[in-house]
Structure 1
Amino acid sequence: MKFDLHTHHDRCGHAEGVIRDYIESAIEQGLQAIGISDHSPYFGDREDQPWPGIAMAKSDFASYVAEVLKLKEEYKDRIEVLLGVESDFFPEHADLYRGVYEQYPFDYIIGSVHKTEGVSIFNRKRWKGLSNAEKVRQKEIYYDLIRQSAESGMFQILGHIDAMKGYYPEFSAIETDAVEHTLRVIGENGMAIEINTSGKTKDCGGWYPSDDILERALHYGVSVTFGSDAHVPSRVGDEFEQVKRRLKEIGYKEWVFFRQKARVPVEL
């Protein structure tokens, strides 16, 4: 079975195409299931859409869900369309986000950390002039937020768990026990992590997470899933077969997707 749980569209302001385009691309690529998971609004902000180039407006969220559900029904005989969302994780607003999500029939929710201390993890300038000790601190803050998101009970999947390396490849070499501790917590909480192939679009190249993290994740019993993180329809399912082969080489026997928040295992 071929699936992709991480796709975006034009609502977020930095992706191309409408939802239908991604579904049609998935059918062309031979997928049996396609998850729609655009960036959640900033529910904790007073403004309706404080960052129009990053995430959808709060006032657009209900129509987003309605459109996915409509297309789910329309395409039911051709492909399974899954309702998802990629949610930012802000501990101070977790209850607010949780309350919003409980109103809708999500198949899954991806929890992703995109900011630490108010700065984007993809900000190229954030590492400039930092001492080694401060670099370690920044990495530990990032993984502490991922740990908290795993413990929050809000998500089924954790997104791109080493994406902070996107525009700073040296991130992977920063030594700290925080990664190991976070993987253990993810395993203890029964979470899945995605293999996200959008790393190839950043300076780091390759996928999120790196092979060494996937090996440790297997040790801690962490489930894995697949997400292209497509922001253009042509990337739907990108490198699915390559990821599948690599997971088998590492030692995984299966990966998972989610339907009505229930884990569905798929043999590799």
Structure 2
Amino acid sequence: MNQLTNYHSHSQFCDGHAPMEEFVKEAVAEGFVAYGISSHAPFPVPNQCNMLRERLPEYLAEFHRIKELYGSAIELYVGLEIDFLDDSFNPSIPYFKELPLDYRIGSVHYIVTPDGTPIDTDGSPDRFRGYVDTYFGGDVDEAVRRFYRSSFRLVELGGFDFLGHLDKIGLNASLYRPGLDREAWYRRLVADYLEAIASQHLLVEVNTKAFATRGRFFPGEDYFEQMHRLGIGVVVNSDAHYPAKINAGRPEALKALARAGYTTVWQFHRNEWIETPLEL
């Protein structure tokens, strides 16, 4: 296999900006060997990003239609990016376990505020700032700690194949207070989280979505050496919402991983995760 794979992308069924088939056509045109569709899973909090539960049969049917058309040219897989909210809603619950999926991504986007309101930490910086000021009285540190408490619990409960963009809150938090994601307490929190991930032998996504616009990966490149020392396997994904961006940031991510000591990445091949040589 070559390095042209992607297992994190969003189409018209959630907050993506093109039909599912357009992503697959682009993947074939660019010479990808494998591609996965992973819309945001149904979620109990109404929003503009997650797929509605009633659309899930249509989502699966459309994937299988496209696989019939393009399956001879590329390996195609269907998954979901599943949010952690609490113990009652996360990738480990029976609803998600029983769906006919090839793989599952476990992600944290939402946290629960002190008054019990779920809020999205992954929206625009201005919206994040408004949430922190309204629900946390400006205590952005507490918002971040709640994000990681949910993240630790996600790891404990499992039910997914790899973790999506595990320190993404660091971006909005550092825009709220510049330098926050470089402060010692934050770095210790991420380091402890990586140790918990390693203890469960979980795969971690290196998410390249924000590299072109923000110059950063999720998790940040600063953590790659620790991840390598801990033996954490990585899957490189673009989290594409537009077909033209299915390969955005991948070459740079592979180079950064190689600098950190990685010689392999993980890819989904013939319905199983395999470790493959990292080739630049």
Can you give the 5+ residue segments of structure 2 that lack an aligned partner in the other structure? 113-117, 123-127
Other structure's SS at 2:87 match: helix
Alignment check: 8 A CA contact 2:264 2:276 kept: yes
Matches within 5 A, 1:19-168: 19-42=20-43, 44=44, 50-51=46-47, 53-94=48-89, 98-117=93-112, 118-122=118-122, 123-128=128-133, 134-168=139-173
- Residue in 1 that maps onto 2:191: 180
Q: 1:84 to 1:95 in 2, by over 3 A?
A: closer
Q: Distance in 2 between matches of 1:186 and 1:87?
A: 17
Deviation at 1:64, TM superposition (A): 0.9
**Helix, strand or coil for the counterpart of 1:179?**
helix
Q: Which residue of 2 aligns with 1:6?
A: 8
8 Å CA contact 2:234–2:265 kept in 1: the answer is: yes
Partners of 1:257 and 1:64 in 2: CA distance: 23
Alpha-carbon separation, structure 2, partners of 1:96 and 1:207: 24
Cα distance in 2 between the residues matched to 1:201 and 1:266? 26
Q: 8 Å contact 1:163–1:199 — kept in the other structure?
A: no
Task: Let me know the Cα RMSD of the aligned residues.
Answer: 2.3
Match of 2:17 in 1: 16
Partner of residue 198, structure 1: 209
Name the % identity. Answer: 25
Does structure 2 conserve the Cα–Cα contact (< 8 Å) formed by 1:195 and 1:209?
yes
Deviation for aligned residue 1:188: 1.2
Structure 1 unaligned blocks of 5 or more: none
1:210-230 per-residue CA deviation (whole Å, 9 max, x = no partner) reads 112222222221111011111
**2 CA distance for matches of 1:231 and 1:217?**
27
What is the CA deviation profile of residues 168-227 of structure 1, one whole-angstrom value per residue up to 9, with x for unaligned ones?
43341243232122111111111111111112466x442211112222222221111011
Matched-pair contact (CA < 8 Å) for 2:167–2:190: no
1: distance between equivalents of 2:270 and 2:95?
A: 16
Contact 1:108 1:259 in 2 (8 A): no
**For 1:166, what is the secondary structure of its paired residue?**
helix
Residue type of the alignment partner of 2:196: V
Q: Quick one: structure 1 residues 258 and 150, their matched pair in 2 at CA, closer, same or farther if it must change by over 3 Å? A: farther
Q: Any idea what the Cα deviations from partners look like across 1:106-137, whole Å, max 9, x if unmatched?
A: 221111100112221132334459799x4333
Task: Provide Cα deviations, 1:56-77, integer angstroms capped at 9, x if missing partner.
Answer: 1110012212222332232121
User: Which range is displaced more, 170-179 or 81-90?
Assistant: 170-179
TM-score, normalised via structure 2 length: 0.84
The alpha-carbon distance between structure 1 residues 29 and 200, as it changes in their structure 2 partners (threshold 3 A), is same
Alpha-carbon shift at residue 233 of structure 1 (Å): 0.8
- TM-score, with length taken from structure 1: 0.88
CA distance in 2, matches of 1:111, 1:54: 16
Q: 1:174 to 1:120 in 2, by over 3 A?
A: farther
Q: Does 1:215 align with 2:225?
A: yes
